[in-house]
Amino acid sequence: MLRDKKFVVGSDQKVYPYHRNMPLIFIGGVPRSGTTLMRAMLDAHPEVRCGQETRVIPRILQLRSHWLKSEKESVRLEEAGITKEVMNSAIAQFCLEVIAKHGDPAPRLCNKDPLTLKMGSYVIELFPNAKFLFMVRDGRATVNSIISRKVTITGFDLTSYRQCMSKWNHAIETMHNQCKEIGRDKCMMVYYEQLVLHPEEWMRKILNFVNVPWNESVLHHEEFINKPNGVLLSKVERSSDQVIKPVNLEALTKWVGNIPDDVVRDMADIAPMLSILGYDPYANPPDYGSPDSWVQDNTFKVKANQKLWEHKAKEILKRDEPQQEDNSNPDDTDLPDGGGVGFGSNSIGNDVRVNDVEKEKT
């Protein structure tokens, strides 16, 4: 008989079991929406470990969706004895092994592969006691970040704000619907702007939602960067150079003035999800609210020491130059036209295409 529970032994010699019924934490959202900040703040908590994006978990979930969409393939799987139960068990164990072993063990495990939320209801089927934190950010800020930082996404035209806003609208709508389907007891919407403006208020809400005791360390994630059992950063994730800083307001309104006038004029029609999520599509900039005084102080200090932070980012991440993403890189975010799911870890859509799999081989 297969054991239902497995375990890992930490450097503290404690035994940490992991199993399908454990209360996993998943952080989801459209890329460039604050998912890295969220995981960094949670990683600063002594009882939680999220770690870097695994990249493989969304891929295996997408492959399963692809297999089941084909009636012929579903029949073949059934005939081979690959029942729903067999597949679910195998996928769950694969995901668990990756989550449990790609970083240090901890009492509470967390995963930050943002696009797992696309398949959120299935994730909850695999892990019934898991919960999602759905990071939501003003789509104009998200798209400006994607374009300005040259985040290559197949299907996104980085020369067109209009087209990228439309793509964002489709992606966030899919995730919003998944979060609603999962239910409020399993999926909490976290607005990036409010997390940044009022970190303590929102981190208290978040920790209460995931049943983790309060700890002040979550308000000072920058003190735990690349420290043992702290916030380990990836040299290739686009947000790593930002989360080395304390919580600040720098990124809130960087998008203002960068969006073409015709797109600003038509924003409500291009991206109706802005209004649904509570953002004013006609406000440039919107009034997100007033920050806590200590966050404002952080912002002043960050702005006054830009060169210092740039140097620190290079030291921590060992970068000589800003990261550039290559369109031919198989790990690029992939969103084919027509809403298809690509094979990349940041794919947004509903179907896997053969062409996308072939691109992975080249």
Residue 344 CA to residue 353 CA, distance in Å, equals 11
Q: Give 292-340 as a 3 state SS string.
A: CHHHHHHHHHHHHCHHHHHHHHHHHHCCCCCCCCCCCCCCCEECCCCCC
Q: Is the peptide bond before 285 cis (omega within 30 degrees of 0)?
A: yes
Rounded CA-CA distance 289/293 in Å is: 12
Task: Kindly provide the residue ranges of all beta strands, DSSP E only, lying in the chain, ordered along the sequence.
Answer: 6-9, 15-18, 25-29, 48-49, 108-111, 131-136, 153-154, 187-191, 333-334
Q: Tell me, what's the pLDDT at 237?
A: 67
Residue 65, token pair as written in the block: 């969706």
Structure tokens of 67? 């297999």
Q: What percent of the chain has pLDDT over 90?
A: 62
Which pLDDT score is estimated for 348? 54
pLDDT of residue 333: 42
Catalytic residue among 47, 53, 193, 321: 53
Decide: 160 and 266 in contact? Cβ < 8 Å. Answer: no
Question: 53 catalytic, yes or no?
Answer: yes
Does a structural domain hold residue 100? Answer: yes
pLDDT in tens, 93-144: 999 999 999 889 999 999 999 999 999 999 999 999 999 999 999 999 999 9
On the question of pLDDT at 262 being above 90, the answer is yes
CA dist., res. 77 & res. 298, Å (int): 55
| CATH code where residue 139 lies | 3.40.50.300
Read off the pLDDT of residues 264-274 as tens digits, 9 standing for 90 and up.
999 999 999 99
CA distance 263 to 208: 40
Q: Is residue 1 part of a domain?
A: no
Residue 362 covered by a domain: no
Helix and strand counts by DSSP (H, E) for the chain: 16, 9
Strand-strand pairing, 6-9 and 15-18: antiparallel
CA atoms within 13 A on the CB side of 272: 3
Residue of 234 and 275 predicted with greater confidence: 275
Query: How close are the terminal C-alpha atoms of the chain, in Å?
Result: 41
* Max avg pLDDT among 79-83, 85-89, 127-131: 127-131
pLDDT of 319: 52
Is the pLDDT confidence value at 243 over 50? yes
Find out whether 342 and 349 touch, Cβ atoms under 8 Å. yes
pLDDT tens by residue, 217-240: 999 999 998 888 888 777 766 677
Res. 355: pLDDT tops 50: no
Q: What is the pLDDT of residues 8-33, one digit of tens each?
A: 876 777 878 889 999 999 999 998 99
How many structural domains does the chain have? 1
Among 103, 53, 36, CA closest to 244: 36
Beta strands in 20-94 (DSSP E): 25-29, 48-49
What confidence score (pLDDT) does residue 154 get? Answer: 63
Which tens digit of pLDDT belongs to each residue from 151-178?
Answer: 877 678 999 999 999 999 999 999 999 9
CA distance 265 to 358: 40
For residue 174 the two structure tokens come to: 């899919």
* Structure-token match 């005084």, residue found: 293
What SS3 class is residue 8? Answer: strand
Q: Angle at which helices 56-69 and 71-79 pack, to 10 degrees?
A: 100
Nearest to 126 by CA among 182, 71, 172, 74: 182
235: number of Cβ within 10 Å: 12
**How many residues would you count in the chain?**
362
Q: Which domain holds residue 24?
A: 6-357
Decide if 92 is inside a domain: yes
